[in-house]
Amino acid sequence: MKKNIYIIIILSLNMVSYSCSEDLLNLEPADQSSVETFWTSEVNAESALTGCYETLLGPYRGEGSWLLKLEDLTPNAFEIDDGSGASSIAKGNNNPTLPLVNSRYRISYEGIGRTNTLLDNIDLVPMNEELKKRFKAEARFLRAFYYLNLIEYYGGVPLILETPNNNTQGQLPRNTKAEVLEVIYNDLDVAAADLPISYPSTDKGRITKGAALALKARTALYNEDWDKALSAAQAVIDLNIYDLFPDYRGLFLLENEGNNEVIFDVQFQFPEVTNNYHELFQQGNVLKDLYDAYLMTDGEPITTSPLFDQASPNANRDPRLSQTLITIGSMFNGELVTGDELFADLTGYAFKKYTYYVDDVKRTAPQPNQSEINPILIRYAEVLLTIAEAENELNGPTDRAYEAINNVRNRISVAMPNVIPGLSKEEFRNILRLERRIEFAGEGLYYKDIIRWKTAETVLNADGLDKDGNVIEKRSFNATRDYLWPLPDRDILLNTNLEQNPGY
């Protein structure tokens, strides 16, 4: 029985909220606890830490899911109604007023404000010192996570490491990305040193040593710190507690939640905290480009493999295709998909990940917005592919790089052929990049990949197509502007020292 650690939200409107705006920096409401009365017990300290975790929920629930909205910015999918602004970004119309641009910035700083408040005040609390150290480590991880969400989309941002105070922080200029990155690395190093490898079941969902190391590996990979990425990823492997879950489809089913591939996920629990992933993921908004990217079982693309049959395009494909996507002619929820279903009437393809249904057995769906599946933010396959990419970038395609990528391809339910040795660095890089796209399709990682690889200017200047090749969405990407998002217009207006990104 999983325990959701995010249900108690005592400080969400008190002294742990943060944004650049003055109203969210008001820390002294008359009907709330003061600093002097709050930081007096272990129970209150734990509530404050819960508030730091609670910020995670906003981006990963309902229509605001960063998993799907980030997919909608890529050749994998498109946003149906532009409710978040993802469609505007994909069309080349990114601007400082879009909800997605504003929410990522605001939510990240809210989490940073909460973690700073805890770190500034927890030493006032009379409590077990080892537990206090762990609480600090959890907060440091979360602060690093929130800052990484900022610098990888906006570049340098104001670096704030103290309790929110609009008088001293409201007019801060931007720090460089490198300065923020240094804090992220330091926070993750401290967190990894002080966090446990695992927790009892009653504390399921808390940050672990493996999560801190894995986030450091991701941070280093995203910033081409190849040595750091390799070292941190190897440290995760050396913990000897993670492995690839044998069933790729089952990895994302509720009944297998918290399996040994999951390193960091966001905890949901019915009925207190739920999401609508079951409905969102099976919308028919997956584009043909992703479907066509799946290789054949001989390891060749559909354009060159003799196994590909246009009359039976689902046959002999990488098994992750049928375990990731709902396609016409396949089975889903015990029925043959014909294309008339709501989730398949837009492009002919939909995501299967995070839905409640399985292929051959009919199930009764949960009520709308009542899913409790946990979105997985970091899993062991990412650690292995970090090893493969960083090793190749440092040393070319060594045995270590081949072993890491082949481990992912050799998952029991996938069993794709090994990448054969003898490739050049560039050839291995291309295979690795496709492997990441396929392995993490629907998980919100591909957008950051094409941004950091500087391939967005190519792949995002191609139109999004349905299964028949009809244009669903015309795409545009300006390489001189769109590799960074704009800072929200409201923050620019409130802070005269906050310089906007070029082109906005």
Element (H, E) at 134: helix 129-154
Domain boundaries, the chain: 9-57+83-146+160-173+479-504, 278-351
Lowest mean pLDDT: which of 50-59, 141-150, 188-197? 50-59
Paired residues of 467 in beta bridges: none
Residue 344 has a pLDDT of: 58
* pLDDT (tens digit per residue) in 265-313: 999 999 889 998 988 888 889 999 999 999 999 999 999 999 999 999 9
pLDDT surpassing 90 at residue 63: no
- pLDDT tens, position by position, 335-361: 999 877 656 568 999 999 999 999 999
> How confident is the model over 362-406, as pLDDT tens digits?
998 888 888 899 999 999 999 999 999 999 999 999 999 999 999
Distance between CA atoms of residues 282 and 488, nearest Å: 31
Q: Quick check: helix, strand or coil at residue 263?
A: strand
- Bridge partners of 379, per DSSP, are 262
Structure tokens that stand for 302 in this block: 């559909």
| Residue 85 to residue 100: CA distance in whole angstroms | 6
Distance CA 103, CA 59 (A): 8
Q: Taking CA 183 as the corner, what is the angle to CA 181 and CA 188, rounded to the nearest 5 degrees? A: 95
pLDDT of 1 over the 90 cut:
no
Residue 338 is predicted with a pLDDT of 87
Q: Check pLDDT > 80 for residue 430.
A: yes
Q: Specify the DSSP class assigned to residue 471.
A: E
Q: Which residues of 147-159 are buried (b: 16+ CB within 10 A; e: fewer)?
A: bbbbbbbbbbbbb
Give tens-digit pLDDT for 174-193.
Answer: 999 999 999 999 999 999 99
Q: Residue 7: is its pLDDT beyond 60?
A: no
How confident is the model over 123-149, as pLDDT tens digits? 999 999 999 999 999 999 999 999 999
Compute how many other C-beta atoms are within 10 angstroms of the C-beta atom of residue 29.
Answer: 10
- Nearest Cα to 283, choosing from 330, 245, 326, 222? 326
For domain 9-57+83-146+160-173+479-504, the CATH class is mainly alpha
pLDDT reading at 96 higher than 60 = yes
CA distance 328 to 291: 12
- Over residues 425-445, the mean pLDDT reads 98
Distance, CA of 287 to CA of 465 (rounded, Å): 6
Rounded CA separation 476/87 (Å): 11
Bridge partners, residue 262, by sequence: 379
Q: Using alpha carbons, select from 394, 500, 392 the residue that is nearest to residue 436.
A: 392
Kindly indicate the confidence band of residue 36, based on its pLDDT and cuts at 50, 70 and 90: confident
- Altogether, the residues listed in the chain come to a count of 504
pLDDT at 391: 98
287 burial via Cβ count (<10 Å: 0-12, 13-18, 19+): buried
In DSSP terms, which residues pair with 265 in a beta bridge?
Answer: 376
The per-residue pLDDT for 27 is 36
- Top pLDDT among 62 and 94 is at 94
Q: Is 275 exposed, middle or buried (0-12, 13-18, 19+ CB in 10 A)?
A: buried
pLDDT value at residue 440: 98
Q: What is the band of 8 on the pLDDT scale with cuts at 50, 70, 90?
A: very low
Q: Provide, rounded to the nearest whole percent, the portion of the chain with pLDDT above 70.
A: 91
**43-48 mean pLDDT:** 96
The 10s digit of each residue's pLDDT in 76-95 is 999 998 989 999 999 999 99
Contact assessment for residue 400 and residue 391, using Cβ atoms and an 8 Å cutoff: yes
Q: What is the mean pLDDT of the chain?
A: 91
pLDDT of residue 21: 38
